[in-house]
Amino acid sequence: MKATVQGKVAVLMGGRSAEREISLMSGRGVLQALQSRGVNAHAFDPAQQPLCDLKTQGFERCFIALHGRYGEDGTVQGALELLGLPYTGSGVMASSLAIDKVMTKRLWQWEGLPTPAHVLLRRNHGKDADLQAVVEKLGLPLIVKPSREGSSLGLTRVTEAAALAAAVERAAALDADVLCEQFIAGEEVTVPILGCGDQARTLPMIRIVAPGGNYDYQHKYFTDEVRYLVPSGLPAGEELLISELVLRAFHSLGCRGWARADVMIDAVSRKPYLLEINTSPGMTGHSLVPMSARAAGLSYEDLCLEVLASARLDHTGGAT
């Protein structure tokens, strides 16, 4: 695939979030891929220079390779809307909704989409009575994580009630809102989505097999101990059901361009449960969207070009 995007492109990477290190890895990969296909692409780190420099430096569109806060949460998207610079991924509202796991769950529940039961705790409100109520509602084990962080940062699998307070404190160090979530015992899969509106499609599903079921930050990016199965090996009927569910979840939040949805499949009932959607997925050597794209015959470089070609603004009705 040859470059069809004209003009000067900024690859936004780094930023100020807790995922800065991963964002730099993603951004460097995207930058190299675009440049190798003839795109006039340049690195731009919002932590090092103000976003208004994008306009003064003549950039015409942006590939967002930022992760987490100040990059995946609608803030950068809003700034780019004001600057009139088309950008990749979801718009302001969808980005701000999707990064907030609690708000995402509320919307999915309203839409009738399956997602694990949860309890919201706020920083400094994790009293003994609150913690006991969490265990009574969700049972053990359960998952504790910050509502607005990615890459499994601050996530703890709690297997006994005595460990819950420390897990909540760990998550609260990263976010004022702490999500306590029902643990679904079974298989974990992830499903990338590419495209906008009716053209959105799912890429091959990946089944994740992590040591001891512990798919944490270290295992995601810095070890080779996790097995990624693509094809997933799941029955075709299950794959189809999950893919349809993921597309419904994607559209319900108003997402566009690309994303990756994480799903747990109950080992007994085989019912899938939506966990979250990432609207600015990782593009590192360990990342799952490029892995899935390769299984579909789409190279890393062509993936980057397709995502970049989808760059647009909210206020123009989605037109590039």
Q: Which is catalytic among the residues 26, 90, 151, 252?
A: 151
Confirm if 18 and 150 have CB atoms less than 8 A apart: no
User: How many residues make up the chain in this entry?
Assistant: 320
Residue keyed to tokens 């390769």: 294
CA–CA gap between residue 33 and residue 48 (Å, rounded): 23
Tokens, residue 223: 């070890």
CA–CA gap between residue 209 and residue 215 (Å, rounded): 8
Is there a catalytic annotation at residue 60? no
Which stretch of DSSP H or E encloses residue 189?
strand 186-195
Q: 40 - beta bridge partners? A: 8
Is there a catalytic annotation at residue 215? no
Contacts 24+ apart (CB under 8 A), 49-55: 51/76, 51/79, 51/80, 51/83, 52/83, 54/10, 54/80, 54/83, 54/85, 55/83, 55/85
Q: Which is catalytic among the residues 260, 300, 301, 310?
A: 260
Is there a catalytic annotation at residue 221? yes
Residue keyed to tokens 């679904």: 184
Q: Is 137 helix (H, G, I), strand (E, B) or coil?
A: helix
CA–CA gap between residue 60 and residue 320 (Å, rounded): 11
Q: Which is catalytic among the residues 181, 187, 239, 276?
A: 276
Confirm if 282 and 30 have CB atoms less than 8 A apart: no
Is there a catalytic annotation at residue 19? yes
Tokens, residue 272: 């899938």
Is there a catalytic annotation at residue 276? yes
Q: Which is catalytic among the residues 14, 17, 19, 45?
A: 19
Q: Which is catalytic among the residues 45, 73, 262, 314?
A: 262
Q: Which is catalytic among the residues 87, 215, 221, 300?
A: 221
Q: Which is catalytic among the residues 27, 74, 154, 282?
A: 282
- Distance, first Cα to last Cα, the chain: 19
CA–CA gap between residue 108 and residue 182 (Å, rounded): 15
Is there a catalytic annotation at residue 278? yes
Task: Cite the active site residues.
Answer: 19, 151, 221, 260, 262, 276, 278, 282
